[in-house]
Amino acid sequence: MMAERLAVPKTFKLYIGGKFPRTKSGRTIRVAHRDERIIAHVGRASRDDLAAAVAAARGAQGAWANATAYLRGQIMYRMAEMLDGKHEEFTSLLASTVPGGIRRARKEVGAAVDRLVCFAGWTDKFSHVLAGCNPVAGPYDNVTVPEAVGVTAVIAPDEEPLLALVSLIAPPLCVGNTIVALGSGAHPLATCVFGEVCATSDVPPGVVNLLTGMRSELIPHIAHHRDIDAIHAANLPKSQRQVLRAGAAENIKRVTVHKLAADAWYDDNACHNPWLIEPFVEMKTTWRPVGA
């Protein structure tokens, strides 16, 4: 009689610079099914892994910001296509750890696809909303245009772990910022597989970097890292918000922290508008003599 075969849980790695490296410390976190079975291991990122991700994002930022809006939109649309192609895989992974079952998980994946499509469309339109031709008293044109801030750190909540991650990444990404994202600590599998979406959807190496690990360990390093220009987060406890704002005061980075209930991530009016982009651009004003 043959012995029953034991399942071998997959070990997911980080996604940095277009590659899937192991954590520099070799640490991992066990991921349990809702029935308490161990179904996977994920990397537990450290300060060194964060530094590597920021370096990769900084190296890719100039080319991504200077890419045409059309190209950025096409790449983000391709991300949506590849995410949709993994619809059932994401649904199964989410349902395995997030309460609510298959139906809830399928709804979340569909909304995440729609969110990427939405901001793919904003790549060549946001400047029409945020820019302006300013009135001046003289023979000059005075024009204000938005430009990408730089490297943006994303800190995703545990609620709606895939949809929230995508919703926090998409607005800064579409305008030319590069991303270092820390996914949900309680439900990290969506973050890991989203790296596979990025790797197969024409996203240039370093433009999106994905970490899994402990927020309490990494947030102080995110707050004080001088090569991170902005932070986009949601549903952080007061103590972690204070750490981020203290770091911002010390090194002048922009910090945006939303507070959203789980069902609010599905609200198109709240999550599909261009004012989510505004914190991640700098306004540059130019003067030009009339007729020049």
Predicted confidence (pLDDT) at residue 55 exceeds the cutoff of 70? yes
pLDDT, the chain, mean: 92
Contact 146, 131 (CB under 8 A): yes
Longest dimension (CA), the chain: 93
Contact 174, 77 (CB under 8 A): no
The upper half-sphere exposure of residue 171, i.e. CA atoms within 13 Å in the direction of its Cβ, equals 23
Which tens digits make up the pLDDT trace of 262-271?
999 999 888 8
**Taking phi first (over 0 means left), then psi (-120 to 50 degrees means alpha), and beta for anything else, what does residue 250 get?**
alpha
Which tens digits make up the pLDDT trace of 74-130?
999 999 999 999 999 999 999 999 999 999 999 999 999 999 999 999 999 888 777
The answer to pTM > 0.85 is yes
SS3 157: coil
Predicted confidence (pLDDT) at residue 17 exceeds the cutoff of 80? yes
The correct answer on CATH 3.40.605.10 for the domain covering 13-289 is yes
For the record, the structure tokens of 222 come out as: 């995110």
Q: What percent of the chain has pLDDT over 90?
A: 79
Give dist(CA 280, CA 94) in Å, integer: 29
Which tens digits make up the pLDDT trace of 227-254?
999 999 999 999 999 999 999 888 889 9
Give dist(CA 235, CA 77) in Å, integer: 27
pLDDT at 141 (0 to 100): 75
For the record, the structure tokens of 136 come out as: 């001046």
pLDDT at 2 (0 to 100): 62
* 149, burial (CB in 10 Å: exposed 0-12, middle 13-18, buried 19+): buried
pLDDT at 144 (0 to 100): 73
Q: What angle do CA 60, 64, 68 make, to 5 degrees?
A: 160
pLDDT at 284 (0 to 100): 79
Buried b / exposed e over 153-172, threshold 16 CB at 10 Å, is bbbbbbbbbbbbbbbbbbbb
Among 285, 283, 292, smallest CA distance to 136 is for 285
Mean per-residue pLDDT for 200-211?
Answer: 96
Give dist(CA 160, CA 172) in Å, integer: 19
Q: What angle do CA 238, 176, 44 make, to 5 degrees?
A: 45
Sign of CA dihedral 76, 81, 82, 87: positive
Residue 230's DSSP bridge partners are: 152, 254
Could you tell me where the DSSP H helices lie in the chain?
A: 47-66, 69-85, 87-97, 101-122, 126-130, 161-174, 189-199, 215-224, 238-251, 268-271
Give dist(CA 108, CA 105) in Å, integer: 5
Q: What percent of the chain has pLDDT over 70?
A: 96
| Least confident among 31-35, 82-86, 108-112, 210-214 | 31-35
pLDDT at 271 (0 to 100): 87
DSSP 283: E
